[in-house]
């Protein structure tokens, strides 16, 4: 796909339309190694670009795995509070990279972000049953009865949660690993609350085929590998 050079640079977050037009006219921009002074130049997507000698990442499609730390909102933007987008270079927001679904402000762990609106939508569609695995620390020890209640499907105030797998992890019984197929608002916390437990910390380990990379500390991110993207895309295409 081709795009006017000035529009391309604006989309990549280089500056406003008038700022980038000025840069182009001044000869500060090269396309495939050649200075281009025409703001209307028809530029190929993913062309090699430099601005004032610095190479620019010209990809308009990005898929990011983020280790979300506690304390940030999962939102594309917010007027008052910091969001997960603050952890990425501004160009990511400029090209429309957005979180897929939502983790609560105090939840940590795997968050996927993508510029691909169709993929985003498909991964969240209830019919796709994309599993999510969470580690939860609760206030009192979990029991076999809780495992059975999760397996049965819990009745919450506004919906019936589908059956979910709960495992009690070794230790004092207050750590559980839960696999859910849905992603309703505060779902995991509400499921534990329905069996009389309060979630003290919640951490997401996996989202569908995607697993949080151990090498990422809270706040760190990386782009998906080709294999991860292929697996996720094929998962998004399955189901209803
Ligand atoms: N369920 C919750 O209750 N909170 C989250 O952040 C994710 C799932």
For the CA of 103, the nearest atom of ligand 1: 6
Whether 138 lines ligand 1, by a CB cut-off of 6 Å, is no
Under the banding of pLDDT at 50, 70 and 90, the label for residue 240 is: very low
Q: Which residues are catalytic?
A: 104
Percent of the chain whose pLDDT exceeds 70? 99
Nearest CA among 149, 133, 151, 139 for reference residue 188: 133
Reduced to 3 states (helix: H, G, I; strand: E, B; else coil), residue 180 is strand
Ligand 1 site-directed mutation target among 107, 135, 179, most atoms within 8 Å of CB:
107
- HSE-up of 56 (CA within 13 Å, CB side)? 30
Token pair recorded at residue 240: 């209803």
Note the pLDDT tens digit of each residue in 17-70: 999 999 999 999 999 999 999 999 999 999 999 999 999 999 999 999 999 999
Name residues whose C-beta falls within 8 Å of residue 143's C-beta, 6 or more positions apart in sequence. Answer: 173
């Amino acid at each position: 796909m081709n795009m006017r050079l000035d529009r391309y640079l604006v989309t990549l977050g280089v500056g406003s339309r008038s700022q980038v037009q000025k840069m182009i006219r001044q000869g500060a921009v090269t396309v495939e190694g050649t200075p281009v002074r025409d703001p209307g130049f028809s530029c190929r997507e993913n062309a090699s670009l430099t601005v004032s000698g610095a190479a620019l990442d010209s990809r308009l499609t990005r898929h990011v795995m983020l280790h979300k730390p506690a304390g940030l909102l999962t939102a594309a933007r917010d007027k008052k509070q910091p969001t997960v987008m603050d952890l990425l270079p501004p160009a990511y927001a400029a090209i429309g990279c957005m979180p897929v679904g939502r983790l609560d402000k105090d939840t940590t762990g795997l968050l996927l972000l993508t510029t691909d609106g169709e993929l985003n939508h498909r991964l969240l569609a209830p019919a796709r049953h994309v599993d999510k695995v969470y580690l939860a620390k609760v206030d009192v020890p979990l029991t076999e009865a809780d495992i059975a209640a999760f397996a049965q499907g819990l009745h919450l105030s506004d919906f019936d949660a589908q059956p979910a797998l709960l495992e009690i992890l070794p230790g004092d019984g207050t750590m559980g690993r839960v696999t859910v197929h849905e992603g309703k608002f505060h779902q995991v916390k509400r499921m534990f609350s329905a069996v009389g437990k309060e979630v003290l910390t919640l951490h997401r380990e996996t989202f569908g085929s995607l697993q949080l990379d151990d090498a990422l500390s809270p706040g760190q991110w990386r782009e998906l590998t080709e294999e991860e993207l292929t697996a996720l895309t094929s998962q998004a295409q399955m189901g209803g």
